[in-house]
Amino acid sequence: MLPQHGRYTFSPIVGRPRYAWPDGSGLAVYVALNLEHYAFGEGLREELVGGGHEPDVLNYSWRDYGNRVAAFRLKQLFAELDIPLTFLVNSAIYDHSPGLLPALRGPQDEVAAHGRTNSEAQGLLDEVGEAALIREATEIIARQEGRRPEGWLGPWLSESRVTPDLLQEAGYRYVLDWCMDDQPIWLRTRGGRILSVPYPQELNDSSTIVGRRESAAVFADMIIDQFDEMLEQSRSGPLVFGLALHPYVIGQPFRLRHLRRALTHLAQHRQNVWFTTAGAIAEHAMAVEAAGTPLP
């Protein structure tokens, strides 16, 4: 036998118990907006142009454009289309960009945790260090937001072998790191269960535009095609459509124009889908199980 993670068992999506999202919708739609901060001159980094040296002024300032300019443009677009946001927040944002979250966050939006900073990968820490990272990020976000976050996405989706255990023990209800399904499923931990909510690794502006060097026009077409196909598939069972965005990538004006086109298409189908947050998806799925329909 090959090594196994032991977090979940194989469960084909066909034949599972059926349930619906609120108002009978088959497709739940959420948008994750990653608000990230990077150390200057050290640590992991997202690169528009590779091959530079530290201090990497080009790539650092490109990333910081997202917090200073692009995030506000994006929020305006989502407000115009009445689409809520799940903000995935590095806790370092509150010191680096004071006032950013209060200016962006609306009553429909959710703030979930995204570690301390994207300059580090928590999965490389020992268990004590990783638990301290989770605790620190959680406490900062809870203090700033007036409530503790319920969901977690690790920076770079980095996990150690005990990350789900530590998150469950820290009181998290759902995690976004695992991308193996189109429905929420349970992960086993040493202290109980934590829900995995689908997070998109392909419908992600960073992996598509920065990683694979696709254009914004192609990315917008991907959003529309993914949505149309999943809307059709959701006739046979509930699905989650997630869209992952980074302001410094998609918030560049020439890319924002194409995102506007794609989101307008989604909004035109409002009567057939549930526009929501990752946390609300987790809450509804748990309520479905409490009412008697087991989740995978």
Domains, the chain, in order of start with CATH, read 22-42+53-290 (3.20.20.370)
CA torsion angle 228 11 283 202 (round to 10): -40
Whether the CB-CB separation of 37 and 97 falls below 8 Å is answered with: yes
pTM confidence score: 0.97
What confidence score (pLDDT) does residue 170 get? 98
Whether the CB-CB separation of 208 and 200 falls below 8 Å is answered with: no
Element (H, E) at 86: strand 86-89
What confidence score (pLDDT) does residue 206 get? 97
What confidence score (pLDDT) does residue 186 get? 98
What confidence score (pLDDT) does residue 107 get? 96
What confidence score (pLDDT) does residue 208 get? 98
What confidence score (pLDDT) does residue 209 get? 98
pLDDT tens across the length of the chain (296 residues): 999 999 999 999 999 999 999 999 999 999 999 999 999 999 999 999 998 999 999 999 999 999 999 999 999 999 999 999 999 999 999 999 999 999 999 999 999 999 999 999 999 999 999 999 999 999 999 999 999 999 999 999 999 999 999 999 999 999 999 999 999 999 999 999 999 999 999 999 999 999 999 999 999 999 999 999 999 999 999 999 999 999 999 999 999 999 999 999 999 999 999 999 999 999 999 999 999 999 99
